[in-house]
Amino acid sequence: MRLPRLVVLSFVGTVAATAFASQPAAVERGLELFTRTWVPHDSRAAEGGDGLGPMYNASSCAACHAQGGLGGAGGKERNVRLSRAGSTDAFLIDHRFSTLSARPVPSTGGSKVERNTPALFGAGLIDNIADEELHAVAATQTGEITGRVAFTTDGKVARFGWKGHSASLADFVANACANELGLAVDGRPQAQPPKGELYDRLSLMQSAVRQTGSKVDLIAGPKRDMTARDVASLTAFVGSLPAPRQVTEQPGHKEGRALFSTAQCEACHVQTIGKVDGLYSDLLLHDVGRSLSDEGSGYMTRGTEKALLAKVDADGMVEETLSDGSVVRVEATAASQLPPAATEWRTPPLWGIRDSAPYLHDGRAVTLDDAIRAHGGEASGAVTAYNNLEIGQQQTLVAFLESMVAPTVAVATLY
Ligand code: HEC
Ligand code: HEC
């Protein structure tokens, strides 16, 4: 959609104080890309790309990320579905739509899990937190509650995603382009149809020729939909989204904050990391129990199924694949950089939480109270402490959480 320029500028005036804020032109281009509704064979695609799809979940970033303002969370109907054929296969995105078919794509077989759409406010600030800060907060945790730093499969410290599977904002944004909208960007395979109903490249190309009347390079396949500069602009826009606000004037705010502390919530939901205050997350992986477990950790785009999904076996050993392809079994240690276990999740930041319902990784919790009671594992003590509060105190604690609201984004009112 087209936004009045005045609004765009007033938005740019409230950007988060990150490096991205010093690139207003990129941020403005990124705003257009974030709100752009893509169509198949989009004439706006850079370098002759095939536009939206072939496989996609929505036709713009803003379609999912809009609650409480542009860049916000998404309702349960916007959940991304993941599925895998067998228990040793990697989870893949189970796309809802295909440009090849007029109807929504039926869900594939196998086991399924879902991911709720989080808000992106303040993401640039999270991106800026140094790796050392995450190691430092992990080192302070001992005993019952001991989080660990998340790593990507290629050994980088990760901080984004429910499972903590992504190292940087730039990386997540490029993946979102490829996975959610089916856009061809550098270094990411474009999502392909599932094998069972695979339309081969030729039929994709034929449909392109039919729809655009243009000549298509059958050997090289679709060109890029977004250039590296486009992806950088989109990243700059997301990175400039202001951090959520906290409303501190309401009665009981101080008491609620104190109860949050007494109930051990802040063992994981740490108020400040490095220079980022009000985050209420340690960004570490914690075991929060079996009822929240699912194994969809490092899911990927169809076509890159060969994931290195290391797992600890019953003897505490882990299999590692060496560069020559051979597999060795070694003892698991804190430094093993294991992918998240089924019961492990990255502590989600609580800033802006009032405006990001429903809650938890799959959006199963309608209220904040539901979300708190669903914790288990390392957080069992915290849940017991919460349950032992008087009902009025529980409400005061929840009211404290509700004081964390989405930022005021000028453009949001118009979107
Ligand atoms: C179909 C809905 C949908 C669309 C469209 C979508 N997203 Fe998301 N987004 C999600 C979901 C679900 C997650 C959580 C995924 C996870 O953690 O496993 C997410 C997570 C993210 C994150 C990581 C946030 C964090 O704190 O971990 C970023 C950044 C992001 N999206 C950016 C984008 C951008 C940019 C676009 C457009 C190219 C986009 N998204 C399109 C649903 C969507
Ligand atoms: C052991 C670490 C730990 C403790 C202690 C803990 N949490 Fe959490 N919290 C998590 C993790 C991990 C998740 C994500 C779980 C999921 O999505 O399945 C979470 C999720 C949440 C959510 C939902 C966030 C969202 O964006 O959907 C809320 C609200 C929350 N916690 C509040 C609390 C409160 C209040 C307390 C204290 C009573 C508390 N937590 C104690 C780790 C913890």
Give the pLDDT confidence of 214-245 residue by residue, as tens digits: 555 555 555 799 999 999 999 999 999 999 99
Question: Ligand 1 centre and the CA of 163: distance in Å?
Answer: 13
- Give residue 356's pLDDT: 97
Listed in sequence order, the residues at least 6 apart from 75 whose beta carbon sits closer than 8 Å to its beta carbon are: 67, 117, 358, 363
Percent of the chain with pLDDT over 70: 77
Angle at 344 between CA 147 and CA 162, to 5 degrees: 100
Question: Taking 70 as the threshold, does the pLDDT of residue 6 lie above it?
Answer: no
pLDDT tier, 392 (very low <50, low <70, confident <90, very high otherwise): very high
- Give residue 109's pLDDT: 72
Question: Ligand 1 centre and the CA of 98: distance in Å?
Answer: 19
- Ligand 1 pocket test, pick from 79, 80, 125, 163 with the greatest ligand atom count within 8 Å of Cβ, gives 80
Distance, CA of 340 to CA of 14 (rounded, Å):
36
237 lines ligand 2 (CB under 6 A): no
> What separation in angstroms does the CA of 378 have from each of 27, 219, 283?
40, 53, 15
Question: Ligand 2 centre and the CA of 88: distance in Å?
Answer: 29
Question: What CATH code is assigned to 136-156+243-301+311-407?
Answer: 1.10.760
> Strand, helix or coil at 7?
helix
pLDDT tier, 4 (very low <50, low <70, confident <90, very high otherwise): very low
Nearest one of 373, 414, 358, 391 to 119, comparing CA atoms: 358
Q: Is the pTM of this model over 0.85?
A: yes
The DSSP 8-state label assigned to residue 22 in this structure reads G
pLDDT tier, 90 (very low <50, low <70, confident <90, very high otherwise): confident
- Give residue 328's pLDDT: 65
61 lines ligand 1 (CB under 6 A): yes
Q: Where in the chain is the domain with CATH 1.10.760?
A: 136-156+243-301+311-407
268 lines ligand 1 (CB under 6 A): no
pLDDT digits (tens, 9 = 90+) for 352-378: 999 999 999 999 999 999 999 999 999
**Ligand 1 atom at minimum distance from 126 CA:** 26
pLDDT tier, 113 (very low <50, low <70, confident <90, very high otherwise): very high
Mean of the per-residue pLDDT values of the chain: 84
Listed in sequence order, the residues at least 6 apart from 167 whose beta carbon sits closer than 8 Å to its beta carbon are: 152, 156, 157, 158, 159, 160
